[in-house]
Chains A and B, each alone.
Chain A
């Protein structure tokens, strides 16, 4: 379907964009890969689109002692082709391989995915799994929101109507960290029916510690599964430990039923995918 009539502005600074957001029912557009379909279905009909195209400095990928900073306008293709990230954050690069299709990856952005907060999307899963910090700018200035607080429901975040995501920080990634990423969809590039992002570290005595297991697709929003993590922390990373963690993961999700899959099926997927992600981490 065709979009509803809408006005368009392309400001050159974040401050100018924030001011425009406060003037009416306005939405940020950048890649537009989620917003445009929603507008085409007329599920959203904002009065004004504020394009970030001309704002400089939101598209940087920076690695420093704080971790990995991804600007809001960083595109999936840029994560895919940045050779540093394959070692600096292998969990992220593996997850991004699963994002949609070639043409979408050439245009979709990190900030757009976080703001849209589709329950099945990968970037929010990595944010939740890795305790990321999301920087947003609004009329009240800059604030930093922990990923654990940012996502609150399907397509719902703590972002205020006049706020713009400017970047996300993923904490430093030790080279020895064990990690796994598993996603299931019926066809390549489709929305995930369920997915798991997981990592843990290993103590000198061989026990797992610092377990982080996050679910997507089978939950209203991307979040860590603390029960499953508790089954892993302090234990030897064996097949039995992983099986217990996988059972705990399935027990603590309350997936939705829809035309794509019933809740029971998604819960079974969570158990299977958690087991596989942890087995991958142990390789």
Chain B
């Protein structure tokens, strides 16, 4: 089945099998391998992308369901040259070790701070509870997200 979608601001189309998940479509059809697949059944959060403004798990959406939608992957959240404030904050706080969970952490955090730039630590922890990091870097990840709030228009910053 042919699908057309907006991916990171570019119009893209692909001929996919109906059973193809959005995650596999992004990786294999579009070559956007920044989206990582950990569990493939909606538990680990590594495959999180932003569809029509909302953070969702791309392993739990069929590519054909996303036909006509606007998708932002971790590639769409980076600059060509310099780190974005959120990326720089992850680096500053050592918020990654092996890096496998990082794309999901970054997309989730970006969606959260876009909608809720004043999110407090409890809220950040609540939201990131949907993303598993097996290097156990949660403390530094939470610190990185909290520190990046100013770049998203947090009150008084």
Could you list which residues of chain A lie within 8 angstroms of chain B, going by C-beta atoms?
1-8, 10, 29, 32-33, 36-37, 40-41, 49, 51, 53, 77, 100-104, 106-107, 187-189
Residues of B within 8 Å of A189, CB to CB, are 129-130
A49, A53, A101, most chain B CB atoms within 10 A: A101
Residues of B within 8 Å of A187, CB to CB, are 129
- A103 near B41 (CB under 8 angstroms)? no
Distance from B4 Cβ to chain A, minimum over Cβ atoms (Å): 14
- B55 near A103 (CB under 8 angstroms)? yes
- B108 near A5 (CB under 8 angstroms)? no
**Does B18 have its Cβ within 8 Å of any Cβ on chain A?**
yes
Distance, CA A5 to CA B40, complexed state (A): 16
Closest to B127 in A: A102
- A103 near B62 (CB under 8 angstroms)? no
- A1 near B40 (CB under 8 angstroms)? yes
- A36 near B18 (CB under 8 angstroms)? no
Distance from B134 Cβ to chain A, minimum over Cβ atoms (Å): 14
- B1 near A8 (CB under 8 angstroms)? yes
Could you list which residues of chain B lie within 8 angstroms of chain A, going by C-beta atoms?
1, 17-19, 21, 24, 40-42, 45, 48, 54-57, 59-62, 64-65, 108, 112, 126-127, 129-130
Distance, CA A73 to CA B132, complexed state (A): 28
Q: Give me 15 A-to-B residue pairs in the complex whose CB atoms sit less than 8 angstroms apart, sorted by A's number.
A: A2-B19, A3-B21, A5-B19, A7-B18, A8-B18, A29-B62, A36-B42, A40-B40, A49-B62, A102-B130, A104-B130, A106-B54, A106-B55, A188-B126, A188-B129
Distance from B8 Cβ to chain A, minimum over Cβ atoms (Å): 19
- A107 near B62 (CB under 8 angstroms)? no
Residues of B within 8 Å of A104, CB to CB, are 42, 57, 60, 130
Q: Chain B binding site: helix, strand, loop or mixed by DSSP? A: mixed
Distance from B140 Cβ to chain A, minimum over Cβ atoms (Å): 19
Residues of B within 8 Å of A102, CB to CB, are 55, 108, 112, 126-127, 129-130
Partner pick for B65 among A3, A51, A100, CB 8 A cutoff: A51
Residues of A within 8 Å of B41, CB to CB, are 1, 36-37, 40-41
- A36 near B19 (CB under 8 angstroms)? no
B45, B54, B55, B56, most chain A CB atoms within 10 A: B56
- A32 near B65 (CB under 8 angstroms)? yes
Residues of A within 8 Å of B54, CB to CB, are 77, 106-107
Closest to A102 in B: B127
Partner pick for A103 among B21, B64, B108, CB 8 A cutoff: B108
Closest 8 CB pairs of A and B: A101-B130, A37-B41, A8-B18, A106-B54, A3-B19, A36-B60, A102-B127, A188-B129
Given contacts A2-B19, A188-B129, A189-B129, A103 and B61 within 8 Å (CB-CB): no
Residues of A within 8 Å of B18, CB to CB, are 5-8, 49
B48, B64, B127, most chain A CB atoms within 10 A: B64
Residues of A within 8 Å of B1, CB to CB, are 8
Distance, CA A6 to CA B55, complexed state (A): 26
- A32 near B108 (CB under 8 angstroms)? no
Distance from A47 Cβ to chain B, minimum over Cβ atoms (Å): 11
Distance, CA A53 to CA B3, complexed state (A): 15
Closest to B54 in A: A106
Residues of B within 8 Å of A37, CB to CB, are 41-42, 60
Distance, CA A106 to CA B130, complexed state (A): 12
Closest to B60 in A: A36
Closest to A51 in B: B65
Distance, CA A51 to CA B41, complexed state (A): 19
